Chain A
Amino acid sequence: MNKKTLFELLQQQGITRRGFLKYCTALTSLMALPPAMIPTVAKALESARRPSVIWLSFQECTGCTESLTRSHSPTVEGLIFDYISLDYHHTLQAASGAAAEHAREQAMKDNYGKYLVVVDGSIPLADPGYSTIAGISNLDMLNETVAGAAAVIAVGTCSAYGGLPHAAPNPTGAVSVSSLIKDKPVINVPGCPPIPTVITGVLAHYLTFGSIPELDELGRPKVFYGQSIHDRCYRRPFYDKGLFAETFDDEGAKKGWCLYRLGCKGPMTYNACATLKWNQQTSWPVESGHGCLGCSEPNFWDAGSFYQALSIPDGDYARAAGYAAAAGVAVGAAAGFVHQKTKSTAVAQHSEISVDDFSLNKD
Protein backbone atom coordinates (compact mmCIF):
# COMPACT_ATOMS: atom_id res chain seq x y z
CA MET A 1 0.00 0.00 0.00
CA ASN A 2 2.78 2.41 0.86
CA LYS A 3 5.30 0.88 -1.45
CA LYS A 4 4.74 3.16 -4.44
CA THR A 5 6.23 6.63 -4.53
CA LEU A 6 3.99 9.60 -4.97
CA PHE A 7 5.38 10.23 -8.45
CA GLU A 8 4.55 6.69 -9.49
CA LEU A 9 1.04 7.08 -8.14
CA LEU A 10 0.55 10.26 -10.15
CA GLN A 11 1.97 8.61 -13.29
CA GLN A 12 -0.42 5.72 -12.84
CA GLN A 13 -3.29 8.20 -12.95
CA GLY A 14 -2.02 9.46 -16.30
CA ILE A 15 -0.80 12.74 -14.91
CA THR A 16 1.86 14.37 -17.07
CA ARG A 17 5.11 15.96 -16.00
CA ARG A 18 3.45 19.33 -16.37
CA GLY A 19 0.71 18.21 -14.00
CA PHE A 20 3.32 16.98 -11.56
CA LEU A 21 5.19 20.31 -11.73
CA LYS A 22 1.94 22.14 -11.17
CA TYR A 23 1.27 19.97 -8.14
CA CYS A 24 4.77 20.75 -6.89
CA THR A 25 4.17 24.48 -7.40
CA ALA A 26 0.96 24.32 -5.38
CA LEU A 27 2.64 22.25 -2.69
CA THR A 28 5.63 24.61 -2.47
CA SER A 29 3.26 27.53 -2.02
CA LEU A 30 1.28 25.51 0.53
CA MET A 31 4.42 24.83 2.54
CA ALA A 32 5.14 28.58 2.45
CA LEU A 33 8.46 27.95 0.72
CA PRO A 34 9.78 30.37 -1.91
CA PRO A 35 9.07 29.46 -5.57
CA ALA A 36 12.82 28.92 -6.06
CA MET A 37 12.30 25.72 -4.04
CA ILE A 38 9.93 24.18 -6.62
CA PRO A 39 12.65 22.05 -8.30
CA THR A 40 13.81 20.80 -4.88
CA VAL A 41 10.24 19.90 -3.94
CA ALA A 42 9.79 18.13 -7.29
CA LYS A 43 12.97 16.13 -6.76
CA ALA A 44 11.98 15.18 -3.22
CA LEU A 45 8.47 14.19 -4.27
CA GLU A 46 9.75 11.88 -6.99
CA SER A 47 10.86 9.49 -4.30
CA ALA A 48 8.37 10.39 -1.55
CA ARG A 49 6.16 7.67 -0.14
CA ARG A 50 2.74 8.05 1.37
CA PRO A 51 3.03 8.26 5.12
CA SER A 52 0.52 6.48 7.30
CA VAL A 53 -1.34 8.90 9.54
CA ILE A 54 -3.24 8.10 12.71
CA TRP A 55 -5.46 10.93 13.92
CA LEU A 56 -6.47 11.01 17.58
CA SER A 57 -9.21 13.33 18.82
CA PHE A 58 -9.25 13.98 22.55
CA GLN A 59 -10.87 16.86 24.46
CA GLU A 60 -11.76 18.91 21.40
CA CYS A 61 -14.69 20.47 19.59
CA THR A 62 -13.97 18.98 16.13
CA GLY A 63 -13.31 22.54 14.91
CA CYS A 64 -9.80 21.52 13.83
CA THR A 65 -11.13 18.66 11.72
CA GLU A 66 -13.79 20.98 10.33
CA SER A 67 -11.03 23.40 9.42
CA LEU A 68 -8.95 20.68 7.77
CA THR A 69 -11.80 19.37 5.65
CA ARG A 70 -12.15 22.88 4.27
CA SER A 71 -8.55 22.96 3.21
CA HIS A 72 -8.51 23.25 -0.55
CA SER A 73 -5.08 23.21 -2.02
CA PRO A 74 -4.44 20.45 -2.79
CA THR A 75 -7.90 19.28 -1.80
CA VAL A 76 -7.98 17.47 1.46
CA GLU A 77 -9.69 14.58 -0.29
CA GLY A 78 -6.68 14.35 -2.56
CA LEU A 79 -4.26 14.71 0.28
CA ILE A 80 -5.99 12.20 2.48
CA PHE A 81 -6.86 9.55 -0.04
CA ASP A 82 -4.01 9.87 -2.50
CA TYR A 83 -0.98 11.30 -0.82
CA ILE A 84 -1.24 10.30 2.78
CA SER A 85 -2.78 7.18 4.14
CA LEU A 86 -5.18 8.32 6.84
CA ASP A 87 -5.66 5.04 8.61
CA TYR A 88 -7.57 6.18 11.65
CA HIS A 89 -9.69 9.26 12.36
CA HIS A 90 -12.68 8.34 14.45
CA THR A 91 -14.72 11.34 13.33
CA LEU A 92 -14.14 10.94 9.60
CA GLN A 93 -13.93 7.19 9.24
CA ALA A 94 -16.94 5.03 8.51
CA ALA A 95 -15.96 2.19 10.83
CA SER A 96 -16.48 2.49 14.58
CA GLY A 97 -15.95 0.55 17.76
CA ALA A 98 -13.77 -2.55 17.64
CA ALA A 99 -13.32 -2.36 13.86
CA ALA A 100 -11.99 1.19 14.09
CA GLU A 101 -9.62 0.37 16.92
CA HIS A 102 -8.45 -2.62 14.94
CA ALA A 103 -7.60 -0.33 11.98
CA ARG A 104 -5.50 1.79 14.31
CA GLU A 105 -3.64 -1.18 15.75
CA GLN A 106 -3.06 -2.61 12.28
CA ALA A 107 -1.65 0.69 10.98
CA MET A 108 0.67 0.89 13.97
CA LYS A 109 1.91 -2.62 13.41
CA ASP A 110 2.41 -2.23 9.66
CA ASN A 111 4.24 1.09 9.86
CA TYR A 112 5.96 0.80 13.22
CA GLY A 113 8.44 3.61 13.70
CA LYS A 114 7.33 5.41 10.53
CA TYR A 115 3.77 6.61 10.96
CA LEU A 116 2.62 10.07 11.94
CA VAL A 117 0.28 10.72 14.85
CA VAL A 118 -1.94 13.79 14.59
CA VAL A 119 -3.63 14.84 17.82
CA ASP A 120 -6.37 17.39 18.23
CA GLY A 121 -7.69 18.13 21.71
CA SER A 122 -6.10 18.18 25.14
CA ILE A 123 -5.58 15.25 27.48
CA PRO A 124 -7.38 15.23 30.88
CA LEU A 125 -5.22 14.14 33.79
CA ALA A 126 -7.61 14.93 36.67
CA ASP A 127 -9.80 11.92 35.93
CA PRO A 128 -9.34 9.71 32.84
CA GLY A 129 -13.12 9.30 32.75
CA TYR A 130 -13.55 12.85 31.42
CA SER A 131 -12.68 11.65 27.93
CA THR A 132 -12.37 8.13 26.60
CA ILE A 133 -12.49 6.44 23.20
CA ALA A 134 -13.70 2.85 23.03
CA GLY A 135 -13.21 2.70 26.78
CA ILE A 136 -9.56 3.66 26.52
CA SER A 137 -8.47 6.80 28.35
CA ASN A 138 -6.94 9.56 26.27
CA LEU A 139 -3.64 9.30 28.12
CA ASP A 140 -3.36 5.55 27.53
CA MET A 141 -4.29 5.85 23.88
CA LEU A 142 -1.78 8.64 23.34
CA ASN A 143 1.07 6.78 25.00
CA GLU A 144 0.23 3.54 23.23
CA THR A 145 -0.11 5.12 19.79
CA VAL A 146 2.86 7.46 20.03
CA ALA A 147 5.20 4.62 21.07
CA GLY A 148 5.80 3.58 17.46
CA ALA A 149 5.38 6.97 15.80
CA ALA A 150 8.00 8.88 13.84
CA ALA A 151 6.60 12.21 15.00
CA VAL A 152 3.51 13.77 16.55
CA ILE A 153 1.65 16.71 15.10
CA ALA A 154 -0.40 18.55 17.74
CA VAL A 155 -3.13 20.24 15.73
CA GLY A 156 -5.01 23.08 17.39
CA THR A 157 -4.36 25.12 20.52
CA CYS A 158 -5.89 22.42 22.78
CA SER A 159 -3.37 19.75 21.86
CA ALA A 160 -0.53 22.25 21.46
CA TYR A 161 -0.97 24.13 24.76
CA GLY A 162 -4.05 22.76 26.52
CA GLY A 163 -6.34 25.35 24.94
CA LEU A 164 -9.85 26.01 26.17
CA PRO A 165 -10.09 22.92 28.39
CA HIS A 166 -6.89 24.15 30.08
CA ALA A 167 -8.40 27.59 30.78
CA ALA A 168 -8.74 28.53 34.46
CA PRO A 169 -9.80 26.73 36.59
CA ASN A 170 -9.01 23.78 34.29
CA PRO A 171 -11.55 21.36 35.80
CA THR A 172 -10.37 18.32 33.82
CA GLY A 173 -6.68 18.88 34.48
CA ALA A 174 -6.18 19.26 30.72
CA VAL A 175 -2.61 19.27 29.42
CA SER A 176 -0.93 19.56 26.03
CA VAL A 177 0.67 16.77 24.03
CA SER A 178 4.15 18.22 24.41
CA SER A 179 3.91 18.16 28.21
CA LEU A 180 3.41 14.38 28.04
CA ILE A 181 5.47 13.28 25.04
CA LYS A 182 9.15 13.91 25.58
CA ASP A 183 10.84 11.21 23.50
CA LYS A 184 9.37 12.02 20.05
CA PRO A 185 9.42 15.17 17.97
CA VAL A 186 6.21 17.11 18.59
CA ILE A 187 5.17 19.69 16.00
CA ASN A 188 2.70 22.22 17.37
CA VAL A 189 0.20 23.59 14.86
CA PRO A 190 -1.80 25.88 17.15
CA GLY A 191 -4.80 27.99 16.31
CA CYS A 192 -8.43 27.82 17.26
CA PRO A 193 -8.71 26.32 14.73
CA PRO A 194 -5.39 26.39 12.84
CA ILE A 195 -5.46 27.68 9.29
CA PRO A 196 -6.42 24.61 7.23
CA THR A 197 -3.61 25.14 4.73
CA VAL A 198 -1.16 25.23 7.62
CA ILE A 199 -2.32 21.78 8.78
CA THR A 200 -1.97 20.37 5.29
CA GLY A 201 1.25 22.33 4.74
CA VAL A 202 2.89 20.61 7.71
CA LEU A 203 1.65 17.20 6.52
CA ALA A 204 2.93 18.08 3.04
CA HIS A 205 6.33 18.95 4.45
CA TYR A 206 6.61 15.55 6.06
CA LEU A 207 5.31 13.88 2.92
CA THR A 208 7.79 15.74 0.71
CA PHE A 209 10.94 15.78 2.74
CA GLY A 210 10.29 12.98 5.21
CA SER A 211 11.41 15.29 7.99
CA ILE A 212 9.89 17.81 10.32
CA PRO A 213 10.15 21.53 9.51
CA GLU A 214 12.24 23.95 11.57
CA LEU A 215 10.41 24.83 14.78
CA ASP A 216 10.35 27.87 17.07
CA GLU A 217 10.72 27.76 20.87
CA LEU A 218 7.03 26.87 21.21
CA GLY A 219 7.41 23.96 18.81
CA ARG A 220 5.69 25.72 15.89
CA PRO A 221 6.94 25.48 12.29
CA LYS A 222 8.79 28.73 11.61
CA VAL A 223 7.59 28.98 8.02
CA PHE A 224 4.05 29.56 9.27
CA TYR A 225 4.58 30.97 12.74
CA GLY A 226 7.82 32.88 12.18
CA GLN A 227 6.25 36.32 12.00
CA SER A 228 3.64 38.03 14.11
CA ILE A 229 0.26 39.06 12.80
CA HIS A 230 1.27 42.67 13.53
CA ASP A 231 4.41 42.44 11.38
CA ARG A 232 2.51 41.13 8.37
CA CYS A 233 -0.70 43.11 8.88
CA TYR A 234 -1.76 45.35 6.02
CA ARG A 235 -3.12 47.76 8.66
CA ARG A 236 0.34 48.13 10.19
CA PRO A 237 1.00 51.48 8.43
CA PHE A 238 -1.95 52.94 10.35
CA TYR A 239 -0.46 51.78 13.63
CA ASP A 240 2.78 53.53 12.72
CA LYS A 241 0.94 56.70 11.74
CA GLY A 242 -1.01 56.68 15.00
CA LEU A 243 -4.38 56.17 13.29
CA PHE A 244 -6.65 53.91 15.32
CA ALA A 245 -10.28 52.82 15.29
CA GLU A 246 -11.77 53.75 18.66
CA THR A 247 -15.02 51.81 18.28
CA PHE A 248 -16.16 49.17 15.84
CA ASP A 249 -18.26 51.60 13.84
CA ASP A 250 -16.51 54.96 13.93
CA GLU A 251 -14.86 56.69 10.98
CA GLY A 252 -11.53 55.04 11.75
CA ALA A 253 -13.11 51.58 11.67
CA LYS A 254 -14.73 52.38 8.33
CA LYS A 255 -11.44 53.59 6.94
CA GLY A 256 -9.75 50.39 8.04
CA TRP A 257 -7.44 51.90 10.67
CA CYS A 258 -5.47 49.88 13.19
CA LEU A 259 -7.46 47.86 15.74
CA TYR A 260 -4.87 48.00 18.57
CA ARG A 261 -7.08 50.13 20.80
CA LEU A 262 -9.96 47.71 20.30
CA GLY A 263 -7.87 44.95 21.79
CA CYS A 264 -6.10 43.42 18.78
CA LYS A 265 -3.54 40.87 20.01
CA GLY A 266 -1.71 40.92 16.67
CA PRO A 267 1.58 42.19 18.15
CA MET A 268 2.01 39.13 20.38
CA THR A 269 0.47 36.53 18.08
CA TYR A 270 2.54 34.43 15.73
CA ASN A 271 0.49 32.98 12.90
CA ALA A 272 0.10 33.16 9.12
CA CYS A 273 -3.43 34.63 8.90
CA ALA A 274 -2.24 37.89 7.31
CA THR A 275 -0.79 36.09 4.29
CA LEU A 276 -2.59 32.76 3.96
CA LYS A 277 -5.93 34.19 5.08
CA TRP A 278 -9.10 32.12 5.54
CA ASN A 279 -11.88 30.66 3.42
CA GLN A 280 -9.88 30.22 0.26
CA GLN A 281 -7.96 33.42 0.81
CA THR A 282 -11.14 35.47 1.01
CA SER A 283 -10.39 37.38 4.19
CA TRP A 284 -9.13 37.08 7.75
CA PRO A 285 -10.23 38.50 11.12
CA VAL A 286 -8.43 41.86 10.90
CA GLU A 287 -9.55 42.34 7.30
CA SER A 288 -13.14 41.76 8.39
CA GLY A 289 -12.73 44.48 11.05
CA HIS A 290 -12.12 42.54 14.25
CA GLY A 291 -8.88 42.44 16.18
CA CYS A 292 -6.82 39.29 16.50
CA LEU A 293 -7.70 37.17 19.56
CA GLY A 294 -4.28 35.57 19.69
CA CYS A 295 -5.74 32.05 19.35
CA SER A 296 -2.43 30.46 18.35
CA GLU A 297 -0.72 31.55 21.58
CA PRO A 298 -0.61 29.64 24.88
CA ASN A 299 -3.31 30.63 27.39
CA PHE A 300 -4.94 33.06 25.00
CA TRP A 301 -8.23 32.40 26.75
CA ASP A 302 -6.89 33.60 30.10
CA ALA A 303 -4.92 36.56 28.76
CA GLY A 304 -7.47 39.24 29.67
CA SER A 305 -10.29 40.73 27.66
CA PHE A 306 -10.28 40.33 23.89
CA TYR A 307 -11.34 43.96 23.72
CA GLN A 308 -8.68 45.56 25.90
CA ALA A 309 -5.49 46.98 24.41
CA LEU A 310 -2.45 44.79 24.94
CA SER A 311 -0.70 47.46 27.04
CA ILE A 312 -3.39 47.43 29.73
CA PRO A 313 -2.72 45.28 32.81
CA ASP A 314 -5.38 42.63 33.26
CA GLY A 315 -5.38 42.19 37.03
CA ASP A 316 -7.77 43.95 39.39
CA TYR A 317 -5.43 46.89 39.61
CA ALA A 318 -8.10 49.37 40.69
CA ARG A 319 -8.72 47.31 43.82
CA ALA A 320 -5.01 46.87 44.45
CA ALA A 321 -4.50 50.62 44.10
CA GLY A 322 -7.47 51.28 46.40
CA TYR A 323 -6.12 49.07 49.20
CA ALA A 324 -2.65 50.50 48.66
CA ALA A 325 -3.96 54.05 48.93
CA ALA A 326 -5.78 53.21 52.17
CA ALA A 327 -2.68 51.54 53.57
CA GLY A 328 -0.55 54.47 52.42
CA VAL A 329 -2.80 57.00 54.14
CA ALA A 330 -2.79 54.96 57.36
CA VAL A 331 0.98 54.48 57.44
CA GLY A 332 1.61 58.03 56.24
CA ALA A 333 -0.66 59.47 58.94
CA ALA A 334 1.04 57.36 61.59
CA ALA A 335 4.45 58.44 60.32
CA GLY A 336 3.31 62.06 60.29
CA PHE A 337 2.06 61.67 63.86
CA VAL A 338 5.38 60.18 64.97
CA HIS A 339 7.33 62.97 63.28
CA GLN A 340 5.14 65.64 64.84
CA LYS A 341 5.62 64.04 68.20
CA THR A 342 9.37 64.06 67.66
CA LYS A 343 9.13 67.68 66.67
CA SER A 344 7.01 68.71 69.62
CA THR A 345 9.23 66.76 72.00
CA ALA A 346 12.17 68.61 70.55
CA VAL A 347 10.35 71.90 71.02
CA ALA A 348 9.39 70.96 74.59
CA GLN A 349 12.95 70.02 75.46
CA HIS A 350 14.16 73.25 74.02
CA SER A 351 15.57 75.48 76.81
CA GLU A 352 16.78 78.98 76.51
CA ILE A 353 20.27 79.94 77.39
CA SER A 354 21.91 83.28 77.80
CA VAL A 355 25.29 84.65 76.92
CA ASP A 356 26.36 83.95 80.50
CA ASP A 357 26.09 80.24 79.88
CA PHE A 358 28.90 80.60 77.43
CA SER A 359 31.09 82.47 79.89
CA LEU A 360 34.63 81.26 79.65
CA ASN A 361 35.52 82.27 83.20
CA LYS A 362 32.94 80.22 85.06
CA ASP A 363 34.77 79.80 88.25
Chain B
Amino acid sequence: MSFDSLAEIKVQVETPDYDSGNLQSILSEIKFALEQLLQQNKTHCIDLRAMPWSPGEETRLEEYLGRGEISVELNALGKSSFYETRFSGIWIVTHYNQQDEIIGKLIEITYMPDMIYAQYEDVKNSLERLQQP
Protein backbone atom coordinates (compact mmCIF):
# COMPACT_ATOMS: atom_id res chain seq x y z
CA MET B 1 0.00 0.00 0.00
CA SER B 2 1.26 3.43 -0.74
CA PHE B 3 -0.07 6.85 0.08
CA ASP B 4 0.31 10.10 -1.75
CA SER B 5 -0.62 12.28 1.15
CA LEU B 6 -1.07 12.05 4.89
CA ALA B 7 -4.77 12.72 4.56
CA GLU B 8 -5.24 9.30 2.97
CA ILE B 9 -4.00 7.49 6.06
CA LYS B 10 -7.10 6.94 8.15
CA VAL B 11 -6.19 7.67 11.70
CA GLN B 12 -8.70 8.10 14.47
CA VAL B 13 -7.39 10.80 16.75
CA GLU B 14 -8.67 10.74 20.30
CA THR B 15 -8.81 14.23 21.66
CA PRO B 16 -8.66 14.66 25.39
CA ASP B 17 -10.19 17.80 26.82
CA TYR B 18 -7.24 20.12 27.05
CA ASP B 19 -7.80 23.66 28.04
CA SER B 20 -4.88 25.66 26.81
CA GLY B 21 -6.77 28.94 27.01
CA ASN B 22 -6.53 29.41 23.23
CA LEU B 23 -10.29 29.24 22.75
CA GLN B 24 -11.13 31.98 25.23
CA SER B 25 -8.49 34.31 23.85
CA ILE B 26 -9.48 33.77 20.23
CA LEU B 27 -13.17 34.23 21.06
CA SER B 28 -12.49 37.50 22.81
CA GLU B 29 -10.40 38.62 19.82
CA ILE B 30 -13.37 37.77 17.57
CA LYS B 31 -15.81 39.62 19.83
CA PHE B 32 -13.62 42.72 19.82
CA ALA B 33 -13.26 42.53 16.03
CA LEU B 34 -17.04 42.28 15.58
CA GLU B 35 -17.50 45.43 17.68
CA GLN B 36 -14.94 47.20 15.52
CA LEU B 37 -16.69 46.05 12.38
CA LEU B 38 -20.02 47.44 13.58
CA GLN B 39 -18.68 50.69 14.97
CA GLN B 40 -15.86 51.61 12.61
CA ASN B 41 -16.41 49.32 9.63
CA LYS B 42 -12.96 47.84 10.29
CA THR B 43 -12.34 44.28 9.11
CA HIS B 44 -10.09 41.81 10.88
CA CYS B 45 -8.38 38.56 10.01
CA ILE B 46 -6.90 35.82 12.20
CA ASP B 47 -4.42 33.27 10.87
CA LEU B 48 -5.59 30.01 12.45
CA ARG B 49 -2.35 28.31 11.51
CA ALA B 50 -0.38 30.64 13.74
CA MET B 51 -2.17 29.38 16.86
CA PRO B 52 -0.53 26.87 19.21
CA TRP B 53 -3.55 24.57 19.19
CA SER B 54 -3.82 21.67 21.55
CA PRO B 55 -5.18 18.45 20.07
CA GLY B 56 -8.81 18.86 19.05
CA GLU B 57 -9.00 22.52 20.00
CA GLU B 58 -9.30 23.83 16.45
CA THR B 59 -12.16 21.40 15.78
CA ARG B 60 -13.90 22.55 18.94
CA LEU B 61 -13.66 26.16 17.80
CA GLU B 62 -15.15 25.25 14.42
CA GLU B 63 -17.93 23.27 16.08
CA TYR B 64 -18.71 26.18 18.35
CA LEU B 65 -18.81 28.70 15.50
CA GLY B 66 -20.94 26.32 13.46
CA ARG B 67 -22.17 26.87 9.93
CA GLY B 68 -24.38 29.73 8.78
CA GLU B 69 -26.36 30.58 5.72
CA ILE B 70 -23.79 31.00 3.00
CA SER B 71 -20.83 29.11 1.62
CA VAL B 72 -18.73 29.81 -1.46
CA GLU B 73 -16.27 27.61 -3.28
CA LEU B 74 -13.41 29.10 -5.26
CA ASN B 75 -11.26 27.30 -7.81
CA ALA B 76 -7.96 29.01 -8.30
CA LEU B 77 -4.63 27.26 -7.72
CA GLY B 78 -6.62 24.51 -6.04
CA LYS B 79 -9.83 24.80 -4.08
CA SER B 80 -10.75 27.39 -1.48
CA SER B 81 -13.79 27.36 0.73
CA PHE B 82 -15.46 30.39 2.31
CA TYR B 83 -18.37 30.01 4.67
CA GLU B 84 -20.15 32.22 7.12
CA THR B 85 -20.46 30.75 10.60
CA ARG B 86 -23.69 30.79 12.58
CA PHE B 87 -22.48 34.18 13.78
CA SER B 88 -23.06 36.56 10.91
CA GLY B 89 -19.96 38.52 9.99
CA ILE B 90 -17.60 35.74 11.07
CA TRP B 91 -16.26 33.75 8.13
CA ILE B 92 -14.01 30.75 7.97
CA VAL B 93 -11.73 30.64 4.95
CA THR B 94 -9.71 27.56 4.00
CA HIS B 95 -7.28 27.50 1.09
CA TYR B 96 -6.13 24.22 -0.46
CA ASN B 97 -3.40 23.61 -3.01
CA GLN B 98 -3.77 21.43 -6.09
CA GLN B 99 -2.98 18.36 -3.97
CA ASP B 100 -5.89 19.21 -1.64
CA GLU B 101 -3.56 20.03 1.23
CA ILE B 102 -4.47 22.99 3.39
CA ILE B 103 -2.15 25.91 2.68
CA GLY B 104 -4.00 28.57 4.61
CA LYS B 105 -6.79 28.81 7.14
CA LEU B 106 -8.21 32.06 8.45
CA ILE B 107 -11.09 33.57 10.34
CA GLU B 108 -12.25 36.75 8.64
CA ILE B 109 -14.45 39.24 10.47
CA THR B 110 -16.02 41.16 7.65
CA TYR B 111 -19.31 41.68 5.78
CA MET B 112 -17.88 39.79 2.83
CA PRO B 113 -14.38 38.34 2.27
CA ASP B 114 -12.58 40.49 -0.31
CA MET B 115 -11.52 37.55 -2.40
CA ILE B 116 -15.15 36.71 -3.27
CA TYR B 117 -15.63 40.00 -5.10
CA ALA B 118 -14.65 39.95 -8.75
CA GLN B 119 -11.17 41.47 -8.91
CA TYR B 120 -10.48 44.60 -10.93
CA GLU B 121 -7.64 43.00 -12.94
CA ASP B 122 -9.76 39.96 -13.75
CA VAL B 123 -12.76 42.07 -14.84
CA LYS B 124 -10.49 44.09 -17.08
CA ASN B 125 -9.18 40.86 -18.54
CA SER B 126 -12.75 39.65 -19.15
CA LEU B 127 -13.61 42.78 -21.04
CA GLU B 128 -10.49 42.42 -23.18
CA ARG B 129 -11.43 38.85 -24.01
CA LEU B 130 -15.02 39.83 -24.89
CA GLN B 131 -13.79 42.67 -27.06
CA GLN B 132 -11.64 40.32 -29.10
CA PRO B 133 -13.40 39.35 -32.31
Contact = CB atoms under 8 A, between A and B. Distances in A.
State if A and B touch, Cβ cutoff 8 Å. Answer: yes
B76 A15 contact: yes
A279 interface: yes
Contacts of A75: 97-99
A158 interface: no
B133 interface: no
B85 interface: no
Interface stretch (A28-36, A137-145, A307-315, A328-336): A28-36
Contact of A276 (B19, B49, B104): B49
Contacts of B122: 16-18
Interface of B: 5-7, 16, 18-22, 45-47, 49-55, 57, 74, 76-77, 80, 95, 97-99, 101-104, 106, 114-115, 119-122, 125
Interface stretch (A19-27, A108-116, A119-127): A19-27
A19 B6 CA distance: 25
B52 A232 contact: yes
Nearest to B57: A234
A19 B115 CA distance: 9
Contacts of A19: 76-77
A290 interface: no
B102 A29 contact: no
A237 B21 contact: yes
14 contacts: A15-B76, A16-B76, A18-B76, A18-B122, A19-B76, A19-B77, A22-B76, A22-B115, A75-B98, A234-B55, A235-B18, A275-B51, A280-B5, A287-B55
A36 B55 CA distance: 27
B52 A234 contact: yes
A282 B77 CA distance: 23
Contact of A18 (B7, B18, B119): B119
Contacts of A36: 45
> Which 9 A-B pairs have CB atoms at the shortest separation, nearest pair first?
A234-B54, A19-B76, A17-B119, A35-B45, A73-B103, A234-B20, A26-B103, A17-B121, A274-B52
A236 B102 contact: no
Nearest to A21: B115
Given A35-B46, A73-B104, A234-B20, 8 more contacts: A18-B76, A21-B119, A36-B45, A234-B22, A234-B53, A256-B18, A280-B101, A287-B54
Contacts of A280: 5-7, 101-102
A255 interface: yes
